[in-house]
Structure 1
Amino acid sequence: MRKSALFATLWLALASGPACADGGYRLWLRYGATTVPANAVVVQGSSPMLAAAAAELRRGLPVGAGPVLLANAADPRVAALRLPVAGLGDEGYLVRSVTLDGRAVTLVTAKDDRGILYGSFALLRHLDSGGSAAMIDLSSTPTIKLRVLNHWDNLDGRVERGYAGQSIWDWWNLPDDRDPRYFDYARANASIGINGTVLNNVNAKAESLTPRYIAKAAALADMFRPYGIKVYLSARFSAPVELGGLTTANPKDPKVAAWWRAKADEIYREIPDFGGFLVKANSEGQPGPRDYGASHADGANMLAAAVRPHGGIVMWRAFVYADTDPNDRAKQAYDEFKPLDGQFADNVIVQVKNGAIDFQPREPFHPLFGAMPRTPLAIEFQITKEYLGFASHLAYLAPLFSETLDADTRGRGKQVTVAQVVGAHQLSAMAGVANIGSARDWSGTTFNQANWYAFGRLAWDPTLKPETIAREWAAQTFGADPRIVDPVVQMMMKSREAVVDYTGPLGLAHLMATGHHYGPGPWVSELKRPEWNPVYYHRADRGGIGFDRTRTGSNAVAQYSPAIAKLYADPRTTPEAELLWFHHLPWTYRMPSGATLWDAMVAHYDRGVATVGELRREWDALRPLVDDERWTKTAAMLATQEREAIWWRDASLAYWMSLNQLPLPAGARAPAHDLAWYKAQSFPDAPGNP
Structure 2
Amino acid sequence: MTTRLNAWILLAVLAMAVWLTPPSARAEDGYDLWLRYRPLAEPAARAATPLAARIVVEGDGETLRLARAELSRGIAGLLERTPELSSDLADGALVLGPASAPRIAALDLPVADLGPEGYLIRSARIDGRAVTVITANSEVGVLYGSFEWLRRLQLGEPLTELDVRAAPKVKLRVLNHWDNLDRTVERGYSGQSIWDWHTLPGYTQTRYVDYARANASLGINGTVLNNVNTNALSLTAPYIEKAAALADVFRPYGIKVYLSARFSAPIEIGGLPTADPLDPAVAAWWKAKTDEIYAAIPDFGGFLVKANSEGQPGPQDYDRTHADGANMLADAVAPHGGVVMWRAFVYSAEDTTDRAKQAYAEFVPLDGRFRDNVIVQVKNGAIDFQPREPFHPLFGAMPETPLMMEFQITKEYLGFATHLAYLGTMYEETLQSDTHRPTAGTSVARIVDGTAENHTLTGMAGVANIGTDRNWSGSHFDQANWYVLGRMAWDPDTRAEPVARDWARRTFTPDPRFVEPVVAMMMGSREAVVDYMTPLGLHHQMATGHHYGPGPWVADLDRPEWNPAYYNKADAAGIGFDRTASGSDAIAQYAPAVAARYGDLETVDERDLLWFHHVGWDHRMASGRPLWDELVLTYDRGVAKVGDMRRSWATLVPYVDSRRFDEVSQFLAIQEQEAKWWRDASVAYFRTFADRPLPAGAAEPEHDLDYYKALSFPFAPGN
Q: Indicate if the aligned counterparts of 1:606 and 1:649 stay in contact, CA closer than 8 A.
A: yes
Is 2:35 the partner of 1:29?
yes
Q: 2:198: which partner in 1?
A: 172
Aligned length: 672
Mapped pair 1:322 → 2:336: no
Is 2:686 the partner of 1:656?
yes
Partner of 2:425: 399
| Residue 568 of structure 2: aligned partner | 538
Q: Which residue of 2 aligns with 1:154?
A: 180
Q: Deviation at 1:134?
A: 2.4
> Which residue does 1:50 correspond to in 2?
64
1:638 aligns with 2:652: no
Unpaired runs of 5+ residues, structure 2, are 1-22, 41-45, 84-91
Q: Partner residue of 2:527?
A: 497
Aligned partners of 1:251 and 1:302 also within 8 Å = yes
Q: Mind listing any 5+ residue stretches in structure 1 that lack a counterpart? A: 1-17
Partners of 1:323 and 1:107 lie apart in 2 by 59
CA contact (8 A) 1:23 1:440 kept: yes
The aligned counterpart of 1:685 is 715
Match of 1:15 in 2: none
Give how far 1:373 is off. 0.3
* Match runs of 1:250-329 below 5 Å: 250-329=276-355
Q: What CA distance in whole angstroms lies between the structure 2 residues aligned with 1:413 and 1:611?
A: 38
Are 2:497 and 1:472 aligned? no
Q: Work out which of the residue numbers 624, 629, 635 in structure 1 matches 2:654.
A: 624
Following superposition, the deviation at residue 136 of structure 1 comes to 2.5
Match of 1:221 in 2: 247
User: How far, CA to CA, are the matches of 1:386 and 1:230 in structure 2?
Assistant: 26
Within 5 Å, give how 1:386-425 maps onto structure 2.
386-410=412-436, 414-424=440-450, 425=455
Aligned to 1:455: 485
CA distance in 2, matches of 1:418, 1:621: 39
Match of 2:579 among 549, 556, 565: 549
Could you tell which deviates more after superposition, 380-389 or 97-106?
Answer: 97-106
Return the alpha-carbon distance in structure 2 between the equivalents of residues 41 and 451 of structure 1. 33
Given that 2:27 and 2:658 are in contact with CA atoms closer than 8 Å, whether structure 1 keeps it comes out as no
SS in structure 1 at match of 2:468: coil
Does the Cα contact within 8 Å between 1:411 and 1:564 map onto a contact in 2?
no
Aligned to 1:377: 403
Give the partner amino acid of 1:355.
G
Deviation by residue 1:401-441 (Cα, 9 ceiling, x = unmatched)? 01000000007962100010111111000000000011010
Q: What CA distance in whole angstroms lies between the structure 2 residues aligned with 1:160 and 1:88? A: 38
| Cα separation, partners in 2 of 1:413 and 1:576, compared to 1, 3 Å | farther
Aligned-pair distance for 1:22? 4.1
Residue 107 of structure 1 is matched in structure 2 by: 133
Q: Tell me: CA distance 1:348–1:411, structure 2 relative to 1, closer, same or farther (3 Å).
A: closer
Q: 2 CA distance for matches of 1:531 and 1:566? A: 26
Cα deviation code 1:361-412 (max 9, x no counterpart): 0000000001000000001000000000000000000000010000000079
480-489 or 631-640: which moved more?
480-489
| Pairing partner for 2:142 from 86, 108, 116 | 116
Partner of 1:353: 379
SS in structure 1 at match of 2:116: coil
Q: Does 1:598 align with 2:624?
A: no
2:73 to 47, 59, 67: 59
1:501-544 Cα offsets, whole Å, 9 max, x none, are 00011110000010011110000011111111000001111110
> TM-score, normalising length from structure 1?
0.95
1:93 corresponds to which residue? 119
Q: How far has the Cα of 1:77 moved from its partner?
A: 3.2
When residues 411 and 203 of structure 1 are mapped into structure 2, their CA distance, relative to the original with a 3 A threshold, is closer
| Helix, strand or coil at the partner of 1:391 | helix
Q: In structure 2, give the amino acid aligned to 1:144.
A: V
Contact between 2:64 and 2:97, CA under 8 Å: does it hold in 1? no
Cα offset for 1:183? 0.1
- Which residue in 2 is equivalent to 1:9? none
Q: Is the 2:577–2:614 contact (alpha carbons within 8 Å) kept by the matching residues of 1? A: yes
Structure 2 counterpart of 1:249, one-letter code: A
2:557 paired with 1:527: yes
* Matches for 1:79-90 after TM superposition, within 5 Å: 79-90=105-116
Looking at structure 2, the residues matched to 360 and 313 of structure 1 have their Cα atoms a distance apart, in angstroms, of 28
Rounded to whole Å, the distance in 1 between the matches of 2:385 and 2:393 is 14
- For 1:611, the aligned partner's letter is K
Quote how far apart the aligned CAs of 1:482 are.
1.0
1:609 aligned onto 2:639: yes
Comparing 344-353 with 412-421, greater Cα deviation is found at 412-421
User: In the alignment, residue 388 of structure 2 is paired with which amino acid?
Assistant: R
Counterpart secondary structure, 1:255? helix
- Does structure 1 conserve the Cα–Cα contact (< 8 Å) formed by 2:538 and 2:610? yes
Map 1:421-440 → 2, pairs under 5 A: 421-424=447-450, 425-440=455-470
Deviation of 1:465 after TM superposition, in Å, equals 1.1
SS in 2 for 1:368: helix
Conservation of the 8 A alpha-carbon contact between 1:353 and 1:380: yes
Q: Give, in angstroms, the shift of residue 626 of structure 1.
A: 0.1
- Contact 1:40/1:58 (8 A) holds in 2: no
Secondary structure of 1:446's aligned partner: coil
Q: Distance in 2 between matches of 1:412 and 1:228?
A: 35
Superposed displacement of residue 79, structure 1:
3.4
Identity %: 65
8 Å contact from structure 1 (residues 569, 582) kept in 2 = yes
Rounded Cα–Cα distance in structure 2 between residues aligned with 1:172 and 1:187: 23
C-alpha separation between the residues in 1 aligned to 2:699 and 2:164? 53
Q: Distance in 2 between matches of 1:180 and 1:54?
A: 18
3-state SS of the aligned residue for 2:406?
A: strand
- Write out per-residue CA displacement over residues 314-339 of structure 1, whole angstroms, 9 at most, x where no aligned residue: 00000012112111000000000000
The partner residue of 2:171 within 126, 145, 168 is 145
Deviation at 1:78, TM superposition (A): 2.6
Measured against aligned partners, the alpha-carbon deviations of 1:29-56 in whole angstroms (never above 9, x if no partner) come to 0116799999721110111111111110
> Which has the higher Rg, Structure 1 or Structure 2?
2
Partners of 1:461 and 1:314 in 2: how far apart? 22
How far 1:21 moved relative to its partner?
5.7
Rounded to whole Å, the distance in 2 between the matches of 1:320 and 1:409 is 21
Q: Match of 1:42, SS?
A: strand
Deviation larger for 275-284 or 478-487: 478-487
Task: Judge conservation of contact 2:59–2:101 (CA < 8 Å) in 1.
Answer: no
Give, in whole Å, the separation in 2 of the partners of 1:597 and 1:209. Answer: 53
Alpha-carbon deviation of 1:481? 1.2
- Structure 1 vs Structure 2 CA RMSD: 1.7
What's the counterpart of residue 209 of structure 1? 235
Give the Cα separation in 1 of the matches to 2:66 and 2:53.
Answer: 15
Write the letter of the residue equivalent to 2:402: P
- The separation in 2 between residues aligned to 1:39 and 1:214, in whole angstroms, is 44
Task: Give the 3-state SS of the residue equivalent to 2:482 in structure 1.
Answer: helix
Residue 40, structure 1, aligned to residue 66, structure 2:
no
